[in-house]
Structure 1
Amino acid sequence: AALGTTFMGLIGMWELSIITLTQVIMATVLAVAIALPIGIAAGRSPRVEGVLGPILDGLQTIPSLVYIIPVVILFTIGVVPGIIASVLYAIVPGIRITALGIRQVPEESVEASRTFGATPRQTMLGVRVPLAAPTIMAGINQIIMMVLAMVIIAGLVGAGGLGFKTIEALTRSDNGLGLEVGISLALMAMILDRLTEAWADRLRPPEAV
C-alpha cells in the first residue's frame, strides 16, 4: 500500500487519486448501506428474494453508461450524479452476495441459538450476520470494484479525479497520461482489494481458515 501510494505521488497523480478515493469511499458507504439490509432480508426470506430476483437481473443487464443518463437528467453534471450512478451500478452484487452469505450459515448454529431462547432478531444479528461476515466482506469487495469501474464513466459527467483525466487522455490521444491514470487506477484497485481481503480474513472463523 505504501509503495503504491508513493508511486502515485511520484507520477503526479496523488491529488487526483485522493479525489477519486473520496468518491469511491462515499459511493461504497452508500451502496453498502443499501445493499446489506436488502441482502439480509433476501437471504432470510425466499419471498423477498423472489421479488428482488427479476429486478436485480434487469439491473445487471443494463450497460454501465446507461446508469448515467437518468441521473444527469435529474442532477445535471458534477460529482453527485457520478456517485449516484456508481451506487446504483454497485448494489446488485452486494445484495446477491450478502443474501448468499446469510443462506449459507449452518442451520445447526441457528437452531442452537433458538434452543437458548434467542429471538429471530437476536439470531440474525448474533449468529447469521457474524457467521456470514466473510462472505459479506466479499460482497463489499465487489461493491468497491464495481464503483471503481464506474470512475471512468463518471468522468464523462464532470466527476473529476482520475476518471476525468482518463477521458481527457482519450480525447487528446495522450498515451502517456492514459498510462499514468491507468496505473494509478490499477494500484488503487489492488490496494483496496488487499485491504478488504485482509479484513475478511480477520472476520473468518478459525475453523474456516
Structure 2
Amino acid sequence: MIQRLMALDLPKIPIGKWVEAIESWLEGNAGPVFKGIKSFIGFTVNGLADGFNAVPPLLLIVLFTALAFWIGRTKIAVFTLLGLYLVYNLGYWENTMETLALVLTASVISVVIGIPLGIACARSDRVQKIVTPVLDFMQTMPAFVYLLPAVAFFSLGVVPGVIASVIFGIPPTIRLTNLGIRQVPADLVEAADAFGSTPMQKLFKLQLPIAAPTIMAGVNQTIMLSLSMVVIASMIGAQGVGADVYRAVTQAKTGVGFEAGLAVVVLAIILDRITQNLVKNKRKGS
C-alpha cells in the first residue's frame, strides 16, 4: 500500500505560493498599518538608545548598579558594576545600549500582547486550543524564517529585528500566564465567587497576584529569547552588539567576535538575574 502511494505522482501542495500571495495582499492592503508600526517601533528604539547614550557611561553604570542592588543582592550589583565597566572599557558601550533598547522594546511589546492573550487562554479552553498550536508553530519555526516577512513589510533596519524578536520571544509569556492563572487553587476561586466578586475583581485581586511569580518567569524567558535574536537581527540591518558579532564572523576576526559576544553575555546575565530576583521577591511577597 505504501509503495503504491509512493509510486503515485501527486502534485505538490503550493504552500509557498499561498504564503507569498498572502504576503502580497498584505503589502498592497495594509501598507499604512505597517508604516505606523514601523514609525512607532523605530521611534521607541531610537529614543531609548539615544536616551541611554545621552547619559555619561560611568553615571549610567552607577545607576544600573544601584538598580541591581535594590532589586537583587550585593553579588548581582557587583557583577553589574564590573560587567558594565568591562563593556565600556572594551569600547562596546554605545552598541550595547542600542542592543538594550532593542531588547527592552521587544520585551515590552511581548508582555503587552502576551499577558492579555495568556489571560484569555486561562479563561477559555476554546481560546487555549486555538492559541496553543500557533505558539507551537512560533517556537519551532526557525528564527531566520521570520526575517523574510519582517523585511518585506518593514524593510531593513531595527524594526524587522524587533518584530522577529517579538514573534520568537512572546510564547513563554503567553504560556506561563495561562499556566499561572490556571494553577490558582480552586478553593480560593470558589471563595471569591461566594463573596460576590466580579470577574475583573477576581482576576486583578486574586488570580494575577498569586500567578505573578509564574508570569514573571515567563517574562524572564521572553527577555532572554529576545536577547538571543540580536545577532540574527543584525543580518537585516539592526545595529548594536549583534552587528559587531556578525561582522567579526564574516571577517573571521575571532578576538573581536569574542569581545562583542562577551558584551552580549554580560547584558544577558544582568537582565536574567534582575528578572529572576523580581520573581523571588514576588514569591516572598505572596
Q: For residues 9-20 of structure 1, what are the structure 2 equivalents within 5 Å?
A: 9-20=88-99
Q: Distance in 1 between the 2:285 and 2:258 partners?
A: 42
Q: Distance in 1 between the 2:123 and 2:281 partners?
A: 25
Offset of residue 115 of structure 1: 2.0
Matched letter for residue 72 of structure 1: V
Which of 65, 70, 74 in structure 1 is aligned with 2:153? 74
Q: Which residue of 2 aligns with 1:131?
A: 210
Q: For residues 144-159 of structure 1, what are the structure 2 equivalents within 5 Å?
A: 144-159=223-238
Q: Is the 8 A contact 1:131 1:205 kept in 2?
A: no
Percent identical among aligned pairs is 46
Q: Distance in 1 between the 2:167 and 2:140 partners?
A: 13
Q: Give yes or no for the alignment of 1:64 onto 2:143.
A: yes
Q: Which residue of 1 aligns with 2:268?
A: 189
Offset of residue 205 of structure 1: 4.5
Where do 5+ consecutive residues of structure 1 fail to align?
none
Offset of residue 5 of structure 1: 0.8
Offset of residue 79 of structure 1: 0.7
Cα deviation 1:63-95 (Å, max 9, x = unaligned): 011111101011110011111111111111211
Q: What is the TM-score when the length of structure 1 is the normalising length?
A: 0.96
Runs (4+) of structure 1 exceeding 4 A deviation are none
Cα deviation 1:41-82 (Å, max 9, x = unaligned): 112211110111111111122001111110101111001111
Matched letter for residue 65 of structure 1: F
- Specify the structure having the higher radius of gyration (Cα): 2
Question: How many pairs does the alignment contain?
Answer: 207
Where do 5+ consecutive residues of structure 2 fail to align?
1-79
Which structure carries more relative contact order (alpha carbon 8 Å, separation 6+)? 1
Other structure's SS at 2:162 match: helix
Q: Distance in 2 between the 1:54 and 1:145 partners?
A: 22
Other structure's SS at 1:157 match: coil
Structure 1 residues 81, 206: closer, same or farther in 2, change over 3 A? closer
- RMSD (Å) for aligned C-alpha atoms: 1.1
Offset of residue 154 of structure 1: 0.3
Q: What is the TM-score when the length of structure 2 is the normalising length?
A: 0.71
Q: Distance in 1 between the 2:252 and 2:87 partners?
A: 21
Which of 40, 48, 51 in structure 1 is aligned with 2:127? 48
